[in-house]
Structure 1
Amino acid sequence: MSGPVSKEDWARARRQSTDAVLEKIERRKALLPYQARTVALLEGTCPVLFIEKSRRIGLTWACASYAVLRAARSREAGGMDFMYISYSQEMTREFIDACAMWARAFSSAAMELEEFLFDDSDKDGERSIQAFRIKFASGFEIVGLSSAPRTLRGKQGVVMIDEAAFVDSLEQLLKAALAFLMWGGQVIVCSTHDGFENHFNEQIQDILAGKSDYQHMKIDFDAALIEGLYERICLVTGKTWTPEAEAEWRASIIRFYGSGADEELFCVPSMSSGAYLSRALIVSRMRKEIPVIRWSPPDGFVDWPSKLREDEVEAFCREKLLPLLEKLDPKLRSCLGQDFGRTSDLSVIHPLQVREDLTLATPFILELRNVPYTSQFQIVRFIRDHLPRFFHAAFDATGNGAALAEMARQEFGAGFVSEIKLSENWYMLNMPKLKAAFEDGQIELPMDDDILNDYRALKMERGIAKVPVGFHNMGADGFDRHGDAAPAGALAVFASEQEMHEYGYRAAPSSTRTAFPNAHDDDDQTGFGLRGRL
């Protein structure tokens, strides 16, 4: 769920959910489930953890428990110093107070809370900052420091950067903190968002794009509520929890944050309405030698007898596609992505070959307008027939595209096909990978104005890159376009990352087959049959 959910819908969902029942058992545990998962992840093998979170969900309080557990241990048991950094002295004091509470709860041997002046010298002269510290009998300590990168100089242990999006010089601070990893240290970076172009969000996008191997968590306001945040507030304040009371409280918090609720509560970076890919970046990946093939059948084509339709499609494939497919490198693996359209939208098919250096070669892009389902499948199957070392296809299975995706799955095999419902969650996870392919020079596009405009149509909405609902512009052919080439490219990149499957035989010529996957006799292996598939 997200911000727009009404009070009534929230109350109804919470009353019907099992969480309301399970909370009777879980609510007296010290940590809520999302807090416990965070601590468990840090206790495991997680050298760097980035967490995007909602305001005031108690995550810093939970991390304080981990700080005490880590600093109170002996060196042999994995103990080390814990350094906390935030952008304000008040936050630092609050964290150290929480650590003192946990130390008493754990009965950890600790001295009283100390307040001291930390030497923060630099080339401009001597200066000091106020800091806070708890010393443990283990010899380790929890220290609250300023956000200046030099405060980490000469130190080792666990460092937590809280509300990282708001500290000064986050990029430099991270460089200093990540040096801790060389000697077995650990880095925790958590924050609400402060704009899409903030370095904190850039790091999150790199993680989602697979460009860095740091661990990532996302805990928004609704996720925290579902796992017991408001129940815990009621327990602490002595109130009685009901779904209706929670729904009213949730609505009041969203009203309080107003237009900032998406960013402050739901982990959606603000200032996120610009183009996702710059024109210069897209054009830099375009090649004049890559063709765009566009085909619309004659008027009334859908009503032609099936044999005439199949012959017409076969003639088109052999004349326009086969010469291009025959030029493909037989040693390279091949895949494809398709964004489906039937009448108002284009169907765009984007094949790729994976080179030895993992860059992605585009042999052509095919655009189909007003092509019947069975004819689209015949074309997809023809392309698949002639792709060397084919290993995967990703199909837009949203709405009417589900029929074509299912036909491909039935014939190609489930291991060779992904049926993708183009949801916000899918875009959130996969659009950063498409952008990374552009930024790293791993993908190629045709030098074509309509293709350029399709990719330029990608916009950030609620922190997610996608073609906006209702977007359309006029293509060079005088018909509407809806940014269709961009999702096709994202699906093709997704397909290129899937596991390799190969056939042990050569496909039969497509002219011997019909457009329907179930119409083959037993001796025709269809190029995608079950025999020989790994």
Structure 2
Amino acid sequence: MNAPITDQPLGAIAASNLQDLQQFDAGEVLLGYQKRWIADTSALKIAQKSRRTGLTWAEAADATLCAATARNEGGCNHFYVGSNKEMAREFIEAAAMWAKAFDRAAGEIQEEVLHEDDKDILTFVVYFASGFKVQALSSNPSNLRGMQGNVTIDEAAFHDRLAEVLKAALALTMWGSRVRLISTHNGVDNLFNQLIQDSLAGRKRYSIHTITLDDACTQGLYQRICQITRKPWSQEAEDEWQAGLLKDTATEEDALEEYGCVPKQGGGAYINRSLIERAQRADIPVLHFEAPQGFMLWSDQQRLAEIDDWCEAHLNPLLEALSPDHSHAFGEDFARKGDLSVFAPLIILPDTRLRFPFLLELRNCPYESQKQFMFYILRRLPRLTGAAFDATGNGGYLAEAAALQFGTDLVDQVQLNLPWYREWMPKFKAKFEDADIEIPKTTDVLNDLRKIQVVKGVPVIEKGSGKGTDGQQRHGDAAVAMCMAVRASYMEGSAIEFTALPGKGEPDDDSDDYLNSFQRGTW
């Protein structure tokens, strides 16, 4: 490729091009996801990837620039730990290629012998004028003892002793070195997958990159293949090529693991029933409001007054009981007809435990009435630090109304999709696993949570509608609302401090000012 090479650090180059990640440029050396990987300077990072996406090749570029940089400018050694000798040679050859491309002074590839237990092991290394090196080591953990530098563990899921290798590698981070794990998946119970799930849940601090075959193709992988092999590109040819790869694997499950970043043996209910039951508390109420028959035919003033009376009678006592010393969050799942809208306020306790003081379920409730309920609750939550709304489809109405009223720093307008579920469901599940959450003790809430199923490796609400204990339709609504609330608890918007609102009747319920003030958003 006749692509421009500069003396600028590759991470800086990548960072300057993040806005172009989805566009293929034949003049660029690296594709978007390769740039994003290099630009991430986290101390610990993991890439779960499809096969043959060129991420290791990009990692060799990063290793080369680091080893070619002087110590006083942040340079260091880089150690590559692959699962076999062929991978080791390939990585070092890539590093040597990058050294020439970057015009960085480097020697030829050398073979060195490491004494490993009772045998000699051949390694490959490139030395740079900076005094640093890029070296490929075997997967024996002892090889990293006494070393200092960044470490790449490639095809990590296929290392027999990954835990021991990782233990040795992490010791290097004490002096500022970085550790990278790159791999396709090798089963749901593999340590590689466990590290990813723990990181997504917030238990570990690895930065996670997901690169499926679809992701790679969207950012130009097949176009790059055509460029290198001098074949004409077309969308039809790309679709046929991708379909052939998937078809050639032994099973659909294998195809998902090899190309879709979905570890095998995933499936079934996401949160164990015993964990849900452990979190349930009988003293947490679930309130229900269903619009009376003919409610849409009532006047605006009648509907406003009806809901205000209901809120004063049922919600106000619960909201007044909330402590102004605690921070609060809010989650919502939207529905207009059929399923439920669920409002889920959340108490963030000082010890990081979360408790839902109540849930509010609305059925067949008009948009404006839902907004009235929403503002009634949000304006009375002490120290509100975040609110997350289902903004998918018609849900965007309430989400936008909240954002206009409280600001986008405080309101997350969520588009429910696979990346969102992949990111936030593990954190939600972790609260149950760590006994850090308290939820209402009802059969409907339990069943809603059991609706979270692992589908192709991603925890989502299973398709199809069910019925609640009242015989009416519901579809995991409480589970989504509670997950939204947990997401909101992570937000860092400026807290809205608690301020008591005027009592009922200020302004006069029957006056036009009451209706107008609500419609202006000042009610």
Q: TM-score range by the shorter chain?
A: 0.7 to 0.9
Q: CA deviation at 1:131?
A: 3.0
Partner of 1:156: 148
Q: CA deviation at 1:410?
A: 4.6
Which of 443, 446, 450 aligns to 2:440? It is 446
Which of 483, 486, 493 aligns to 1:490? It is 483
Q: CA deviation at 1:141?
A: 2.9
The 1-side partners of 2:47 and 2:69 are apart by 25
Note if contact 2:400-2:413 (Cα within 8 Å) is conserved in structure 1: yes
Structure 1 SS opposite 2:437: coil
Q: CA deviation at 1:306?
A: 4.4
Which of 104, 119, 124 aligns to 2:115? It is 119
Partner of 2:54: 58
Partner of 2:383: 389
Distance 1:63 1:357, change over 3 A: same
Note if contact 2:382-2:498 (Cα within 8 Å) is conserved in structure 1: no
Distance 1:221 1:329, change over 3 A: same
Distance 1:314 1:105, change over 3 A: closer
Q: CA deviation at 1:95?
A: 1.7
The 1-side partners of 2:407 and 2:228 are apart by 55
Distance 1:77 1:481, change over 3 A: same
Percent of aligned pairs with the same amino acid: 44
Q: Deviations over 1:148-167 (max 9, x none)?
A: 32332222111100111221
Partner of 1:479: 472
Amino acid at match of 1:163: E
Structure 2 SS opposite 1:87: coil
Q: Is 1:202 equivalent to 2:194 in the alignment?
A: yes
Partner of 1:78: 74
Structure 1 SS opposite 2:275: helix
Partner of 2:455: 461
The size of the alignment, in residue pairs, is 501
Q: Is 1:333 equivalent to 2:327 in the alignment?
A: yes
Partner of 1:186: 178
Structure 2 SS opposite 1:159: strand
Partner of 1:9: none
Note if contact 1:415-1:501 (Cα within 8 Å) is conserved in structure 2: no
Partner of 1:256: 248
Q: Is 1:67 equivalent to 2:66 in the alignment?
A: no
Note if contact 1:508-1:525 (Cα within 8 Å) is conserved in structure 2: no
The 2-side partners of 1:515 and 1:490 are apart by 35
Amino acid at match of 1:48: L
Q: CA deviation at 1:514?
A: 9.2
Alignment of 1:344-383 (within 5 A): 344-383=338-377
Structure 1 SS opposite 2:71: coil
Amino acid at match of 2:307: V
304-313 vs 475-484, greater mean Cα deviation:
304-313
Q: CA deviation at 1:414?
A: 5.0
Q: CA deviation at 1:486?
A: 0.6
Amino acid at match of 1:61: W
The 2-side partners of 1:361 and 1:101 are apart by 56
Partner of 1:49: 45
Note if contact 2:79-2:136 (Cα within 8 Å) is conserved in structure 1: yes
Structure 2 SS opposite 1:529: coil
Distance 1:147 1:342, change over 3 A: same
The 2-side partners of 1:504 and 1:322 are apart by 14
Q: CA deviation at 1:227?
A: 3.3
Distance 1:377 1:512, change over 3 A: farther
Structure 1 SS opposite 2:179: strand
Distance 1:485 1:528, change over 3 A: same
Q: TM-score, normalised by structure 1?
A: 0.83
Distance 1:300 1:172, change over 3 A: farther
Distance 1:401 1:107, change over 3 A: closer
Structure 2 SS opposite 1:160: strand
Distance 1:137 1:503, change over 3 A: closer
Q: CA deviation at 1:168?
A: 1.8
Distance 1:312 1:253, change over 3 A: same
Q: CA deviation at 1:488?
A: 0.4
Q: CA deviation at 1:492?
A: 1.0
Q: Deviations over 1:240-263 (max 9, x none)?
A: 334443333233233334623332
The 2-side partners of 1:514 and 1:461 are apart by 52
The 2-side partners of 1:282 and 1:210 are apart by 19
493-502 vs 407-416, greater mean Cα deviation:
407-416
Note if contact 1:385-1:527 (Cα within 8 Å) is conserved in structure 2: no
Q: CA deviation at 1:477?
A: 1.9
The 2-side partners of 1:203 and 1:51 are apart by 11
Q: Deviations over 1:479-533 (max 9, x none)?
A: 23311111000111122233124268532235546999x96488x6999639xxx
269-278 vs 386-395, greater mean Cα deviation:
386-395
The 2-side partners of 1:337 and 1:281 are apart by 21
385-394 vs 488-497, greater mean Cα deviation:
385-394
Structure 2 SS opposite 1:500: coil
Q: Is 1:218 equivalent to 2:187 in the alignment?
A: no
Q: CA deviation at 1:412?
A: 4.8
Alignment of 1:413-432 (within 5 A): 415-432=409-426
Note if contact 2:300-2:515 (Cα within 8 Å) is conserved in structure 1: no
Partner of 1:90: 86
Q: Deviations over 1:121-145 (max 9, x none)?
A: 2xxxx34444333344544333222
Question: What's the Cα RMSD here?
Answer: 3.3
Note if contact 2:23-2:220 (Cα within 8 Å) is conserved in structure 1: no
The 1-side partners of 2:388 and 2:132 are apart by 52
The 2-side partners of 1:21 and 1:35 are apart by 12
Partner of 1:38: 37
Note if contact 1:52-1:191 (Cα within 8 Å) is conserved in structure 2: yes
187-196 vs 382-391, greater mean Cα deviation:
382-391
The 2-side partners of 1:62 and 1:253 are apart by 23
97-106 vs 423-432, greater mean Cα deviation:
97-106
The 1-side partners of 2:107 and 2:405 are apart by 70
Amino acid at match of 1:157: G
Amino acid at match of 2:366: P
Partner of 1:14: none
Q: Deviations over 1:1-56 (max 9, x none)?
A: xxxxxxxxxxxxxxxxx999985xx4244433433443344xxx432222222211
The 1-side partners of 2:163 and 2:465 are apart by 36
Distance 1:408 1:69, change over 3 A: closer
Q: Deviations over 1:321-371 (max 9, x none)?
A: 222222111222333212122332122111112223332222111222333
Partner of 2:10: none
Distance 1:515 1:485, change over 3 A: farther
Distance 1:109 1:336, change over 3 A: closer
Note if contact 2:81-2:138 (Cα within 8 Å) is conserved in structure 1: yes
Amino acid at match of 2:47: I
Partner of 2:263: 269
Amino acid at match of 1:27: A
Q: Is 1:168 equivalent to 2:168 in the alignment?
A: no
Distance 1:409 1:278, change over 3 A: same
Q: List alignment gaps of at least 5 residues for structure 1.
A: 1-17
Q: CA deviation at 1:455?
A: 1.0
Note if contact 2:22-2:32 (Cα within 8 Å) is conserved in structure 1: no
Q: CA deviation at 1:106?
A: 4.6
Note if contact 2:63-2:95 (Cα within 8 Å) is conserved in structure 1: yes
Q: CA deviation at 1:105?
A: 4.2
Note if contact 1:193-1:201 (Cα within 8 Å) is conserved in structure 2: yes
Q: Is 1:231 equivalent to 2:223 in the alignment?
A: yes
